[in-house]
Chain A
């Protein structure tokens, strides 16, 4: 290990590699409920070449590598399950290009959402990118790679759908380009080439390390507004969502349900964000949106909440701080959620399941959904706060999350950025041929099994024991 450490120092400089207990402690865990798993060292590359050299070193030495962006997934994906090197990518945060006409931005993978947001606001105020509800230090690269979603997802789908291309360091150290940038100086699209991006999206860092990526940008209109449609019958929500998304005017459509404050309990709030370049356009859009669920207004079973302008601000904030503040509900500094990607018609069942599980585990909760695309599916989330200082409470939240992951799968949904145990649950239900294909892809790309081992790895398969042996011998 000392040899590897010294070589890493050679690559990135002494200041950017550590095997001190303090760094190993912090990088062994995230904010969620997953148990810590310690790295052997932490390194912060500054360039694609640094990453390439580190990967070559890891291959030579047979030591795992775990790439990490903001480290904010909450499901423990950047914990090094089998030790090795955590690659904190946040030094690679340069914004390399913004193409105004073809509306894309090329950034290094460690660029934070907030930094890109601020950069566009200052230098390209007519453009914006889709911002997830994660805190602004979350990285653009990390969020795209986990199939994140954000405040333009109704308009344009998952953040992975907004990906134009990538530069990837393969587990063997080869640097490849994906998308138009492989053939052209422009990063405009993944079409019309064979779409190799799928080799890296949703793989939890098991197939390579993305060092650069281009994402789509969207018009940043000068005026914005929000509407909240309120109902008290979850059975109505799929049709309400269907009608509202059918207008295709909103940029973001989300739902929010929670037992606290008292006035929120048993109600479903459908939040609709939309923008315009003029007051006339904004009013016109509002009229179209408000007309969509008119049937429910007429029969008095639903309606838009009257929101004075000052009350709208928090609903138009991107990213919203309210979700983060949820971590202090129990004065305990923690929450984690299951994000079930599922069809919209499952809303009533998903809603009921959330309440059932929360009651069974005697925990408070917040649930909600983000609509992806023009009502093509949704990310239904179940968030449970916990008190980090109370191990029993952490365990309770963890069990509630496990139960929720299973329930999501039972309904026909799929947990998003699933924890390692939830990945096992997914793989158990996966078509065996698909699973076999995944295994083949991983073995092809990562013959030495160094990339974030322990993820997308069916128990007893793909040489877990070998990796553990490697890790142990490394120590």
Chain B
């Protein structure tokens, strides 16, 4: 297994369970399940035990490994500088091994199957992907400066669609030269990648890279930090050569010339740092800069923010599974 050489170096000191200010548990799966096994250190030791045959492949082991939300709190707060960067990579490598063995939790299996068969985790027609933009009068991509990529959540999830529409409207109203792919968009595969299904991810990445190349896409705006991560960090390994921006990064640039003066009473606003923008890419400033430029916004910081942000729990494929609520409810499980 890749990164197996670091597993025994974990001391299980537990810094990985906490935010930098130690105020509460900050590893999402440990916070929920509370057994040491569900902490990053527990996973490190279990993976080693599993590779050395001390424990067997089991649904419980799979559950423990796949409950990781890949939020990188462990990477951020591990005190061992010489191997901390690969902690999460080791978990993903462990998942890959389980994928190879076909020993993944049923919810993961179903998720991956849905992507494979339907192209999206919602099992909805690909032809419906562009419906989020109905009525917005947004052009299809045709050599504009940017391609706006919304991904599966932006295409199918009700709240995701509202977000896609909001961003699309903003880009349109602020005269950004951009287009969308509509029904021709494909899954970016970030969660497939973090679930360890490297073969399927490669297929998805190559498909999108080829598509972007054929369309001569030079700059991509992503709705989701997950797509941002996949395209910025993973796709270049498969030959991607386009620039990637999270939509907030584009909006920040536009706000140099646009002044927002919302009406109404001042509102107190905080910002939840998404893991794949924050800890994975250290992008903390841009969203805050945007908020600071909106009059009427009184920005307040949460105790857990930036590198200490508490993950929503949805990363690493968990958003698409009901795994978190079903865990440990099966007798004997």
Chain A contacts of B37 at CB under 8 A?
22-23, 26
Whole-angstrom CA separation of A114 from B21 in the bound complex: 8
CB contact under 8 A between A15 and B329, given known A115-B23, A137-B18, A327-B11: yes
Q: Closest Cβ of chain B: how far from A66's Cβ, in Å?
A: 14
CB contact under 8 A between A332 and B15, given known A91-B34, A324-B79: no
Q: Is the Cβ of B23 less than 8 Å from the Cβ of A333?
A: no
Chain B contacts of A444 at CB under 8 A?
none
Question: Residue on B with the closest CB to A117?
Answer: B22
CB contact under 8 A between A328 and B46, given known A18-B35, A27-B36: no
Q: Which of A15, A90, A333 is B8 in contact with, Cβ under 8 Å?
A: A333
Chain A contacts of B82 at CB under 8 A?
328, 331
Digitize A444-457: 1 where CB-to-B-CB distance is under 8 Å, 0 elsewhere: 00000000000000
Chain A contacts of B10 at CB under 8 A?
333
Q: Is the Cβ of A136 less than 8 Å from the Cβ of B61?
A: no
Let me know if B313 is at the binding interface, CB within 8 A: no
Which A308-333 residues have a C-beta within 8 angstroms of B?
A: 321, 324-325, 327-328, 331-333
Whole-angstrom CA separation of A91 from B58 in the bound complex: 26
Q: Is the Cβ of A21 less than 8 Å from the Cβ of B55?
A: yes
Q: Is the Cβ of A26 less than 8 Å from the Cβ of B23?
A: no
Q: Is the Cβ of A22 less than 8 Å from the Cβ of B18?
A: no
Q: Closest Cβ of chain A: how far from B12's Cβ, in Å?
A: 6
Q: Is the Cβ of A72 less than 8 Å from the Cβ of B14?
A: yes
Let me know if A247 is at the binding interface, CB within 8 A: no
Which A104-162 residues have a C-beta within 8 angstroms of B?
A: 112-115, 117-119, 121-122, 135-138
Max chain A C-beta neighbours (<10 A), residue from B9, B13, B55, B329? B13
Digitize B57-89: 1 where CB-to-A-CB distance is under 8 Å, 0 elsewhere: 010110010000000000000011011000000
Digitize A10-24: 1 where CB-to-B-CB distance is under 8 Å, 0 elsewhere: 000011101011110
Whole-angstrom CA separation of A222 from B33 in the bound complex: 38
Let me know if B102 is at the binding interface, CB within 8 A: no
Which B41-59 residues have a C-beta within 8 angstroms of A?
A: 42, 45-46, 49, 54-56, 58
Q: Is the Cβ of A25 less than 8 Å from the Cβ of B46?
A: yes
Let me know if A252 is at the binding interface, CB within 8 A: no
CB contact under 8 A between A23 and B35, given known A15-B329, A137-B17, A334-B11: yes
Question: Residue on B with the closest CB to A68?
Answer: B36
Chain A residues within 8 Å of chain B by Cβ, number:
46
CB contact under 8 A between A26 and B22, given known A14-B331, A20-B60, A88-B35: no
Which A326-357 residues have a C-beta within 8 angstroms of B?
A: 327-328, 331-335
Let me know if B123 is at the binding interface, CB within 8 A: no
Q: Is the Cβ of B49 less than 8 Å from the Cβ of A70?
A: no
Whole-angstrom CA separation of A327 from B41 in the bound complex: 14
Whole-angstrom CA separation of A353 from B19 in the bound complex: 40
CB contact under 8 A between A137 and B15, given known A26-B42, A112-B22: yes
Whole-angstrom CA separation of A387 from B37 in the bound complex: 21
Digitize B85-110: 1 where CB-to-A-CB distance is under 8 Å, 0 elsewhere: 00000000000000000000000000
Chain B contacts of A136 at CB under 8 A?
14-15, 18, 22
Beyond the given A31-B13, A71-B36, A136-B15, please list 17 additional residue pairs across the A-B interface where CB-CB is below 8 A. Answer: A18-B35, A21-B55, A22-B46, A26-B42, A90-B34, A114-B18, A114-B23, A115-B23, A136-B14, A137-B15, A137-B18, A138-B14, A327-B9, A327-B80, A331-B9, A334-B11, A388-B9
Q: List 9 A-B contacts (CB under 8 A).
A: A15-B327, A15-B329, A31-B11, A135-B14, A136-B22, A324-B15, A327-B11, A327-B13, A332-B8
